[in-house]
């Protein structure tokens, strides 16, 4: 092997960035410090005790008493697959709501599980329409599951979980809810809304690093899994096996857990408990209002209507004369600031500005507004200048 290809490679030192895209979010120093603690065995009694605390803390975050609440070893996509491979069997009819990229991924999961997807389409940037869901159930009364995204990361639209779950249960169907971008950032009440299965991610409003997917399953899901006609198609995500590993009293080896990332998630959830869940929701909402004031003062607009808009994921419509890629390149090069581009049909049409977890703080909002205002002006976009930060500070002054 030619040694010249690797001899100059040394330790990686990442640049210090401010992360205000669709995820990951900034990670608090407390969480980074927790992840640097000594690695111990994943069957060590001390680690097992920490895993039990994690389950308790996640139940608080999800607002549930579900015993089956734990973090899957993998990103939010693995949490999504865990829900589908355990609940969907060949031939099952599943109503899937698509109002953005991630509803589309649910459809692909149904297909790969051998299910039949009945797709309810809504315009990107709008919430799922409960009326359309009701009509789909009337036509397909043999549907087993309704699946939808609570907080659509690709557009910044938020759907009404309780109303959609109520519709599904009236027709005897289970529910799978994508809460990757909502957990910890906007109200999510699993027990009060009677959600059956939900999955999220560690790297967004929880403010941890990527790589873990909190999930929670209700008793109807447990019953459905016990009465499957066919084996779960995934060995790694088979809940019958995984849950034996997370069992509190008789823990059985399943896989080597990502030990240090779990330390980080534990610390993130301790911090959420210290802040208080309602306070975290309020913080995300306040910073959204400040960002909104600055964005609109510049003459820019939001892609999603206010009544359906996520506070933690802000889709801002590009000015007609703005160069999407160049603006984002300059923000990264000149300000060490990352914002997100549009996905799928929204590519080149919107910027996605995240206010999630530790990224959701006043100094980030003010930095983002200053950097965006200066960059747009420097690249010739027609905006109002010298107004964005003042507008945001006006919101903070009366918080």
101 and 225 fall within a common domain: yes
224 and 181 fall within a common domain: yes
* Contact status, residue 200 vs residue 150, Cβ threshold 8 Å: no
pLDDT in single tens digits along all 399 residues of the chain: 677 778 888 999 999 999 999 999 999 999 999 999 999 998 888 998 999 999 999 999 999 999 999 999 999 999 999 999 999 999 999 999 999 999 999 999 999 999 999 999 999 999 999 999 999 999 999 999 999 999 999 999 999 999 999 999 999 999 999 999 999 999 999 999 999 999 999 999 999 999 999 999 999 999 999 899 999 999 889 988 877 766 655 666 678 889 999 999 999 999 999 999 999 999 999 999 999 999 999 999 999 999 999 999 999 999 988 999 999 999 999 999 999 999 988 999 999 999 999 999 999 999 999 999 999 999 999 999 999 999 999 999 996
268 and 282 fall within a common domain: no
283 and 246 fall within a common domain: no
260 and 339 fall within a common domain: no
**What whole-number distance in Å separates Cα of residue 143 and Cα of residue 172?**
8
Q: Judging by beta carbons within 10 Å of its beta carbon (0-12, 13-18, 19+), is residue 248 exposed, middle or buried?
A: exposed
**115 — alpha (psi -120 to 50), left (phi > 0) or beta?**
beta
3 within some domain: no
Structural tokens at position 252 = 């059985």
**What whole-number distance in Å separates Cα of residue 142 and Cα of residue 150?**
24
200 within some domain: yes
Which of 242, 273, 304 terminates a domain? The answer is 273
Considering Cα of 6, then 12, then 17, then 23, what sign does the dihedral take?
positive
Radius of gyration, alpha carbons of the chain: 22
**What whole-number distance in Å separates Cα of residue 399 and Cα of residue 393?**
10
63 and 212 fall within a common domain: yes
384 and 347 fall within a common domain: yes
109 and 218 fall within a common domain: yes
Give the CATH number of the domain where residue 167 resides: 3.40.640.10
320 and 202 fall within a common domain: no
198, β-bridge pairs: 177, 216
| Domain that includes residue 362, residue range | 277-397
pTM here is 0.95
Structural tokens at position 56 = 């308790």
The predicted structure's pLDDT at residue 253: 65
* 17, HSE (Cβ side, Cα atoms, 13 Å): 16
One-letter-per-residue 3-state SS of the chain: CCHHHCCCCCCCCCCCCEECCCCCCCCCHHHHHHHCCCCCCCCCHHHHHHHHHHHHHHHHHHCCCCCEEEEEECCHHHHHHHHHHHHCCCCCEEEEEECCHHHHHHHHHHHHCCCEEEEEECCCCCCCCHHHHHHHHHHCCCCCEEEEECEECCCCEECCHHHHHHHHHHCCCEEEEECCCCCCCCCCCCCCCCCCEEECCCCCCCCCCCCEEEEEECHHHHHHHHCCCCCCCCCCCCHHHHHHHHCCCCCCCCCCCCHHHHHHHHHHHHHHHHHCHHHHHHHHHHHHHHHHHHHHHCCCEECCCHHHECCCEEEEECCCCCCHHHHHHHHHHHHCEECEECCHHHCCCEEEEECCHHHCCHHHHHHHHHHHHHHHHHCCCCCCCCCHHHHHHHHHHCC
- Count structural domains, the chain: 2
| Residue whose structure tokens are 């008793």 | 219
β-sheet with 197-199: strand ranges across: 68-73, 212-217, 197-199, 174-178, 145-149, 93-98, 116-121
């Amino acid at each position: 092997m030619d040694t010249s290809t690797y001899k100059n490679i040394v330790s990686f030192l990442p640049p210090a960035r401010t992360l205000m895209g669709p995820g990951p979010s900034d990670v608090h120093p407390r969480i980074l410090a927790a992840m640097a603690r000594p690695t111990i065995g994943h069957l060590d009694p001390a680690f097992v005790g920490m895993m039990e605390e994690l389950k308790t803390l996640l139940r608080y975050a999800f607002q549930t008493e579900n015993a089956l609440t734990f973090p899957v070893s993998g990103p939010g996509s693995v949490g999504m697959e865990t829900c589908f491979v355990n609940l969907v069997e060949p031939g099952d009819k599943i109503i899937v709501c698509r109002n953005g990229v991630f509803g589309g991924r649910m459809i692909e999961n149904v297909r790969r599980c051998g299910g039949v997807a009945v797709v309810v389409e809504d315009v990107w940037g709008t919430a799922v329409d409960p009326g359309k869901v009701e009509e789909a159930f009337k036509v397909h009364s043999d549907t087993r599951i309704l699946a939808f995204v609570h907080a659509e990361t690709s557009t910044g639209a938020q759907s009404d979980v309780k109303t959609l779950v109520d519709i599904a249960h009236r027709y005897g169907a289970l529910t799978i809810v994508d809460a990757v971008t909502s957990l910890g950032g906007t109200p999510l009440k699993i027990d009060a809304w009677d959600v059956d299965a939900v999955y999220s991610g560690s790297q967004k409003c929880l403010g941890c690093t990527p790589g873990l997917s909190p999930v929670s399953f209700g008793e109807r899901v447990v019953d459905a899994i016990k009465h499957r006609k066919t084996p779960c198609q995934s060995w790694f995500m088979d809940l019958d096996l995984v849950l034996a590993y997370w069992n509190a009293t008789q823990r059985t080896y399943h896989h080597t857990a990502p030990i240090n990332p779990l330390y980080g998630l534990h610390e993130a959830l301790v911090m959420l408990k210290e802040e208080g869940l309602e306070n975290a929701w309020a913080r995300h909402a306040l910073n959204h209002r400040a960002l909104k004031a600055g964005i609109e003062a510049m003459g820019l607009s939001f892609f999603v209507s206010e009544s359906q808009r996520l506070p933690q994921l802000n889709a801002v419509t590009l000015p007609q004369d703005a160069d999407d890629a160049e603006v984002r390149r300059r923000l990264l090069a000149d300000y060490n600031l990352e914002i997100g581009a549009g996905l799928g049909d929204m590519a080149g049409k919107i910027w996605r500005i995240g206010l999630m977890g530790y990224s959701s703080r006043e100094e980030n909002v003010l930095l983002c507004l200053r950097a965006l205002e200066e960059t747009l002006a420097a690249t010739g976009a027609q905006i109002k200048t010298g107004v964005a930060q003042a507008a945001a500070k006006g919101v903070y002054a009366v918080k």
